[in-house]
Amino acid sequence: MTETVSTREATMAPPRRRNRMSAQEARTALVFLLPSLLGFIAFMLFPIIASLAISFTNWQLISAPSFVGFANYQRLFTLDPAFYTVLGNTLFFTLEYLVLNIVLSLGLAVWISSLKRGQRWFRVIFFLPTFTPAIAASVVWLLIFTPGGFMDTVFQTLALHVPNLLLDPKLAMQAVIIVTLWANVGYNMVLFNAALDLVPQSYLEAAKIDGASAWDRFWKIRLPLISPTVFFGTVMTAITSLQVFDQIYVVTRGGPGSATATLGFAIYQNGFGNYQMGYASALAWVMFIIIMALTALQFWLQRKWVHYDS
């Protein structure tokens, strides 16, 4: 490593002293970087490569793994009837949750920014659950949803004939979405609220004088100006929601049947329930590719609605 430095510096024909100094600088850099680099290689780079390698084996922990080529991927797409259910559940969850999260967090952000006083206290209230364990939020909501519990009582009192959310295969995912929204909507709310604060007041006043209504001011001035932040929030939320696991593990266990089994849950179940490390790794790579594809799609779509001018 030191050699490459000296040769590169030598071609630029620097004085001797500088040459020695940059070699020393590179050595210092190596010492500074070493702890991070070792950890990065051991717990990030190597696991990523290992994960790909394992996905081409039939490793089951007890027996030695053997190479099976694309058999795991073939099984996924052609043999395993559960895979398309899981994929459908994941995309359904992500789509509905993403839309509701962005609409609600943006709505709350605008509402809070319209207040004359107490903005920061409302911000804190809606932000609170994002700092608490998803598992804790999930057990609390599980008690709310439990048959004969608070939610059922509310439905009964209002004379709504809604079956228990956890027992109905069509509604169970809605329970998961409610928990996830409650637990996470505050983060994007604060993000968007902060962006709204940065919109120059003079723009809004000029529009007001020209007779633009609050509605127009939102759609034509504020939303376009904060659209890069909304885009950022949408991309990050999509990436995390494709991985949803904690809430499902506690609230529904993927049930009833497999109505709420998502990719994250299926990876855990195959890997640590059935010890099929190879198959679970193949599922994980499918998830990673979906994350990349969805993110690429969003970057492509952003040209239609995100405004980046200063």
Binders of another protein in range 214-253 (CB under 8 A): 228-229, 231-233, 239, 242-243, 245-246, 249-250
What residues from 290 to 309 belong to the interface with another protein (CB under 8 A)? 291-292, 295, 308
Q: Which stretch binds another protein (CB under 8 A): 73-81, 90-98, 145-153, 297-305?
A: 145-153
Q: CA gyration radius for the chain?
A: 26
Measure the CA–CA gap between 120 and 122, rounded to whole angstroms.
5
Alpha-carbon span 193 to 48, nearest angstrom: 36
Using CB under 8 A as the binding rule, whether residue 115 contacts another protein is answered as: yes
Q: Which residues of 190-228 are buried (b: 16+ CB within 10 A; e: fewer)?
A: bbbbebbeebeeeebeebeeeebeeeebbeebbbbbbbe
* Sequence letter at residue 107: G
- Whether residue 224 is preceded by a cis peptide bond, meaning omega within 30 degrees of 0, is no
Least distance to another protein from the beta carbon of 147, Å?
9
Q: In the set 10, 103, 136, 167, which binds another protein (CB under 8 A)?
A: 136
CB 112 within 8 A of CB 122: yes
Closest CB to another protein among residues 41, 95:
41
Q: Does 206 bind another protein (CB under 8 A)?
A: no
Please list every residue from 11 through 30 that binds another protein, using CB under 8 A.
Answer: 22, 25-26, 28-30
x-or-dash pattern for another protein, window 67-106, by CB under 8 A? ----------------------------------------
Among 44, 99, 206, 296, binds another protein (CB under 8 A): 44
Q: How far is it, in rounded angstroms, from Cα 135 to Cα 247? A: 6
Judged by beta carbon, residue 139 or residue 301, the one nearer another protein is 139
Q: Are 233 and 306 in contact (CB under 8 A)?
A: no
Verify binding: residue 153, another protein, rule CB under 8 A. Answer: yes
